[in-house]
Structure 1
Amino acid sequence: MTHVNVLDPGASPLDYYGFELRRLREAAGLTQRQLGDILNYTGSLVGQVETARKVPTPEFSERLDAALGTGGLFSRLVDLVLRSQLPAWFRQTAELEARATEICTFQTHMVHGLLQTRAYVRAVLSVLDHTDLDDRTAVRLGRQRIFEKEQPPVFWMVISEAALHQEIGGREVMREQLTHLLAFEHNPRINVQVLPYEAGGHAGLQGSFNLYRFTGDPTIVYTEGYGSGHPTANPDTVGDCSLRYDHLRAAALSLKGSAELIRRVMEERYGEQRDDDGDPVA
């Protein structure tokens, strides 16, 4: 009889997920390969998740629930797993994101993580570090599941026009990312405003910041450095950043004007290039 190492389900959410996956798979009388065939994943991937060597994705979890008839167990667990895999210094902020009723962010140089596409995430995370890129990408994208809640937060992003021109990941990645931003044009809960170059000096010159608002709890201001996050409920800081955000929204283009600028940058800077004969350039 072959003995396998059994995970300690209390060690972490990832270990608990793997423990339950193995337990329920074996109860169903399936091998890893058989379950993988049902899920349209490899048996090797199933094994890696069972041994907590691979982070499961929401899609994997949804397929798992359907295959094993677990009533949404793994789809619920995956949120805890993904959050537990975030850098330790960011986990508190992820909790704030998950609880907030309104999130307001000002971004100076790139799209906020909650609105990033998969390719853009990979391009951002791969700068200087290619280790575990698939897992780290899945973890960041997992934060976006807050928009799937029954009562998702209202999200406002004021983004500098410079961030639209900062070519992260290449032209294709940027075109896809800007197209993604335009997809929210008529979504009243996800709002994107661009602070144009013409705004000149503005209230956000000191850098990016987030405001998290809650029902019944104080507003939190969050700023970020290299490998560190700084949330605070200090009333003076909150008041100052709230005022700054009001001024940034006033200086930014309207929602409609912002969409028009995003579309123009997408077409002029990242549109398909053609040669003198009108043929696409490879």
Structure 2
Amino acid sequence: MALNPRQSVSKTKRTAADDREVDVANVYLKRENKATGKSYALVRPGTSTRAVGTWDFNGEDPNNADWMAIEIKALMEQAFESQYWDSELLCNSIQSQLPSSFTGEFFVVSPSGLKLSNADRKEVIQAVLDSYPTHLAPLSVEDQVDLGPYIHGKTSKWPIENNASGPAPVPWLVFKGSNTGQRFELGASLGPASSTQATWKKSLDQVFTPKAGGEPKWVKQLRSAGSHNPVKRVLLLDDRVFILEQTLRPFVRSLPAGWLSEVDEIFVVRPGSDAAAQIYP
């Protein structure tokens, strides 16, 4: 049975993770169908009549026998995965309450440990909405602002952390991705002491550095899929830490040839994006 994009964000963390994978895979299939004129749809390998395995998805065209194997890996520090879903709930709540006057696409880098009660969340949401005219609207595309101090000035519910200069509001960086549209989404969930470069390295190590030697799991999954003769095997990187492509592309292309021989294409998909960028071959 083909899988539809998620219908609701009010789900368990495990279901939210599943939904995220479906979203990422569908972004890729939309691109593939437009480029090839095919009608690929997502099918879980466990329910497929064409190929059964443990990789994430099949992309199957109902009009012919063509199918592809799809494996998805998240680029995100594992230690902060639970906070990612807590922070996504806050951003989804803000998104659902955006007024018509709110224009632009914004992505948040959230601190770890951001846990708010329902009542506290309401105050924070209102503070974020109030910040739009003075802090968000004036931003140029690809600029950012730390809303932590502003939110704390509006509500005492915003947490404080101790840093080298003493107690200060927990930072909440908001990046502007576009002057058009209307979007407010979580871009990444980072630990408060994580530098960008350190976060990128940890995120890449999770996916591409096998434990105790050997091969990463995605290599084994796609090798298994290859024995069922798919038209292609695809690795999708769900990039939640916004690794620059000039960093990601050469890194992927320098992987061992034996690993790359088990994958035909590698694409990166980022939160809030409706496009998949090819980084290999």
TM bracket (short chain): under 0.3
- Higher-strand-fraction structure: 2
Q: TM-score, normalised by structure 1?
A: 0.22
TM-score (norm. length: structure 2): 0.22
Return the structure number with greater relative CO, CA threshold 8 A, min gap 6.
2
Larger Rg: 1
